[in-house]
Amino acid sequence: MDQLSNLWEIHQNAAWPEFLGTIEGELMMLDTVIAGCVMYFLEEEQLDAQRVGILQDSLSDLEKLLPDLPEQAFGYFERLQKVGVTVLETTSE
């Protein structure tokens, strides 16, 4: 849990990437939804079935967008993906 909290803190302090082009709106939505699930998990130490489904769908959508990201934005969203995946793995344990 400490590793997740540390990674999440790094992500929260990171600047929003620039030059995202036409996918910026979708990335903002995914960032917001995934962040909401992560914050809920960190507070409650679990996710309900509805949030698990939302997080899985959002991570799947993010996975599809990663190849189209500019290099300078990739780290931000790769970290967001890692945080989300970690939450899902911890929830299923």
Where in the chain does DSSP place strands (E)? none
Angle between helical axes of 24-44 and 49-65 (0-180°, round to 10): 150
Please tell me the distance from the alpha carbon of residue 1 to that of residue 16, in angstroms, as a whole number: 25
Please tell me the distance from the alpha carbon of residue 40 to that of residue 57, in angstroms, as a whole number: 17
pLDDT averaged over the chain?
94
Residue with tokens 């939450």: 87
**Mean pLDDT, range 40-65, rounded to an integer:** 96
Please tell me the distance from the alpha carbon of residue 48 to that of residue 44, in angstroms, as a whole number: 10
Given a contact cutoff of 8 angstroms between Cβ atoms, the answer to whether 32 and 16 are in contact is no
Q: What percent of the chain has pLDDT over 70?
A: 99
**Mean pLDDT, range 36-55, rounded to an integer:** 96
The per-residue pLDDT for range 14-42, each reduced to its tens digit, is 999 998 989 999 999 999 999 999 999 99
pLDDT for the residue numbered 92: 78
pLDDT for the residue numbered 29: 98
